[in-house]
Amino acid sequence: MRLPVLLVIASLLGAACGRGEERTSSAVSGGLLDTADQVAFGFRTLVTDGGLLRAEIFADTALFQNQSTKIVLLRVAGDFFGATGAKAATATSRRGTFDTRSSTLEAFGDVVITSVDGRVLRTPYIRYDRSSNQVYSDSSFVLTEPGEREMRGIGFRTDPNLSAIEVQRIRSGKGGTFTLPDES
């Protein structure tokens, strides 16, 4: 009776180890490991501006490059904070890069930003600039709001909590009204 239990435990441990190896090998595929100065797992960093917390960034894997001035991030998550220090939004993506000199973050692949009041922005790419505390992109996006309102477009600039969004080109919208800027 003890042997089957030990075999089950051994197979579960083997499966768990296999998943870890898969994560590690997929995280460093494509030659990223060859260019990394250091590799870290369970990465976390804070982005501040004048002593004010602007963002907290997490990643499963971080590959430090160019004497640690560029960090390639895999499986990224983060929180944005407003002027009062309260959490304004969360963000996730499959990959990102963080420039430690300018404190800019670029996120790629299934980027989702969710504001604390329920707005959700989905896009393939964003860039977050600490100095302006702005998120922007020239990619396509879908912005949904509570009440089944939705806007689709290409290119935007917004604050991290998605309360003031400037759109380059609107493709479609439904479920509400949008105020367009005065062109005079």
Q: Does residue 20 surpass a pLDDT of 70?
A: no
Query: Does residue 182 lie within any of the structural domains?
Result: no
One domain, residues 41 and 26: no
Residue of 166, 80, 66, 77 whose CA lies nearest to 130? 80
27 exposure class (CB count in 10 Å sphere: 0-12, 13-18, 19+): buried
One domain, residues 21 and 51: no
83 exposure class (CB count in 10 Å sphere: 0-12, 13-18, 19+): exposed
In angstroms, the CA 110 to CA 92 distance is: 8
User: In 3-state terms, what secondary structure has residue 62?
Assistant: strand
pTM of the model: 0.75
% of residues, the chain, pLDDT over 70: 75
Q: Which whole number is the average pLDDT over 73-97?
A: 93
Q: Where is 68: in which H helix or E strand? A: none
One domain, residues 103 and 16: no
One domain, residues 38 and 26: no
One domain, residues 91 and 8: no
User: For residue 5, what pLDDT is reported?
Assistant: 34
Query: Does residue 181 lie within any of the structural domains?
Result: no
Q: Does residue 180 surpass a pLDDT of 50?
A: yes
Tell me the pLDDT tens digit for each residue of 149-174.
899 999 999 998 898 889 998 888 77
User: For residue 10, what pLDDT is reported?
Assistant: 34
One domain, residues 18 and 43: no
One domain, residues 58 and 6: no
Q: How many C-beta atoms lie closer than 10 Å to residue 79's C-beta?
A: 17
Instruction: Give the chain's domain count.
Output: 2
% of residues, the chain, pLDDT over 90: 44
| Amino acid present at 147 | G
Where do we find the tokens 């051994």? 10
In angstroms, the CA 156 to CA 135 distance is: 8
Query: Does residue 16 lie within any of the structural domains?
Result: yes
Tell me the pLDDT tens digit for each residue of 111-141.
999 999 999 999 999 999 888 889 999 999 9
Query: Does residue 180 lie within any of the structural domains?
Result: no
CATH number, domain at 134?
A: 2.60.450.10
Which residues on adjacent β-strands are paired with residue 84?
Answer: none
One domain, residues 44 and 115: yes
Give the angle subtended at the CA of 78 by the CAs of 20 and 171, to the nearest 5°.
110
pLDDT band at 33 (very low <50, low <70, confident <90, very high): low
Question: Where in the sequence is the domain holding 140, given as residue range(s)?
Answer: 34-174
